[in-house]
């Protein structure tokens, strides 16, 4: 068993020796090793529209002179070369440990968004041991620019009402906006809940929609208003920005018509009575009511009274005179309709009244009156005929 272990160990050493010999023989005794170091990138980070200076150093870290060496900076959007140094107008020869510098003057496209953008460096030389093309990443930091838009809301609003505003925050700038705060600035139109909306960040060309619920103070008079909303945020480097936008709101007049009082006489009508109904309607709202009409609708008739305009905190009487239509419990509908800034309105109230049969005493009285009338007529005509 021990002899087997010795054989396996010996074979392993042989294999490792072969691999080591092959690896050593694969490397040349003398070689040049060319690579690039970014000595300076100014400014870093760079803003869109700014000039950018890039200083590159080409170094030979090998053990042999490098022949026919040159350097080329390949730029793509958002970088454009304005000019460059003349170190590589002709190919260079780099001795061992030697280096050569070249400076490139670039400009960053004004529309570039925040991000890392590559600068591709191509190294050319006669020696095959030159390092392949390299890439340097340059950080571009744009400037955010936020605008606040509101969707037209179709809600009609009066004093004391709640309403919802849909906001859309758009970043039309080139940088990332962070820690965004939306704060209304009005003592009469208040945001419900927290008085601030927060958004963590919005990328360039990005947009975020939010909804906020507001309430109009009861004391605010109907009119057209514009209330300010502040927008605050910071950019990627912590610079603070603030702007203000206005939201338009039309506070309308709302009327509120109700029946203040209602009286029906007689209290217990019979089928032979004339019925008189009188009442008062009032406007307890903040706006005028136009075209106020009061209707009494019975099974067989419609009675109507036109009141016209009823101003805020005003009232007006209405009257109806009618005949009973049947004996028993009779039902009628009192309908009130009007128009204000919110459109046409109508509400109804049911009225019930018991119509009784005429009493026996009343019938007797009628018969007696009728009899007296007949007797008086008889004697009158008889007397008249005697005189003739």
pLDDT at 365 (0 to 100): 58
Of the candidates 301, 290, 296, 216, which has an alpha carbon nearest to the alpha carbon of residue 257?
290
pLDDT at 153 (0 to 100): 73
Query: 189 φ, ψ to 5°?
Result: -120, 105
Of the candidates 209, 180, 208, which has an alpha carbon nearest to the alpha carbon of residue 196?
180
pLDDT at 195 (0 to 100): 85
pLDDT at 131 (0 to 100): 64
CA distances from 57 to 72, 87, 115 (A): 12, 10, 25
Q: What percent of the chain has pLDDT over 90?
A: 54
Q: Rounded to 5 degrees, what angle do the CA atoms 93, 96, 101 make?
A: 55
Report, as ranges of residue numbers, the positions in the chain whose pLDDT lies below 70: 1-32, 127-132, 360-371, 373-388
Q: Using CA atoms, how far apart are residues 318 and 212, in angstroms rounded to an integer?
A: 45
Domains and CATH numbers, the chain: 34-140 (2.60.40.10), 146-252 (2.60.40.10), 257-355 (2.60.40.10)
Environment class of 136 (CB within 10 Å of its CB; exposed 0-12, middle 13-18, buried 19+): middle
Question: Which residues lie closer than 8 Å to 42 by C-beta, 6 or more apart?
Answer: 52, 53
pLDDT at 72 (0 to 100): 86
């Amino acid at each position: 068993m021990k002899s087997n272990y010795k054989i396996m160990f010996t074979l392993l050493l042989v294999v490792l020796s072969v691999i080591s010999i092959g690896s050593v023989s694969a490397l040349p005794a003398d070689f040049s090793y060319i690579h690039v170091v970014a000595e300076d990138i100014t400014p870093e980070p760079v803003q869109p529209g700014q000039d950018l200076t890039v200083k590159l150093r080409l170094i030979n870290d090998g053990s042999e002179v490098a022949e026919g060496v040159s350097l080329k900076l390949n730029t793509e959007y958002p970088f454009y070369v304005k000019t460059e140094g003349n170190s590589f107008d002709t190919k260079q020869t780099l001795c061992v440990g030697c280096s050569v510098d070249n400076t490139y003057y670039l400009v960053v496209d004004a529309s570039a968004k925040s991000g890392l953008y590559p600068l591709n460096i191509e190294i050319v030389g006669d020696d095959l041991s030159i390092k392949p093309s390299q890439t340097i990443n340059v950080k571009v930091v744009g400037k955010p620019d936020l605008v606040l838009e509101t969707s037209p809301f179709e809600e009609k609003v009066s004093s004391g009402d709640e309403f919802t505003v849909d906001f859309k925050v758009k970043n039309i700038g080139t940088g990332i906006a962070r820690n965004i705060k939306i704060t209304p600035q009005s003592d009469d139109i208040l945001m419900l809940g927290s008085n601030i909306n927060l958004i963590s960040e919005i990328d360039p060309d990005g947009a975020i929609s939010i909804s906020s619920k507001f309430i109009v103070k009861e004391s605010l008079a109907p009119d057209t208003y514009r209330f300010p909303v502040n927008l605050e945020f910071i950019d990627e480097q912590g610079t603070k920005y603030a702007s203000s936008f206005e939201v338009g709101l039309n506070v309308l007049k709302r009327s509120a018509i109700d029946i203040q009082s209602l009286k029906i006489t007689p209290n217990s009508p019979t089928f032979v009575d004339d019925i008189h109904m009188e009442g008062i309607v009032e406007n307890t709202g903040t706006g005028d009511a136009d075209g106020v009409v009061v209707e009494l609708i019975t099974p067989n008739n419609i009675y109507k009274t036109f009141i016209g305009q009823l101003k805020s905190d005003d009232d007006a009487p209405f009257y109806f005179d009618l005949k009973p239509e049947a004996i028993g419990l009779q039902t009628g509908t009192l309908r009130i309709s009007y128009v204000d800034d919110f459109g046409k309105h109508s509400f109804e109230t049911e009225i019930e009244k018991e119509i009784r049969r005429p009493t026996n005493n009343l019938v007797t009285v009628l018969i007696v009156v009728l009899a007296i009338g007949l007797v008086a007529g008889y004697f009158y005509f008889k007397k008249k005929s005697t005189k003739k």
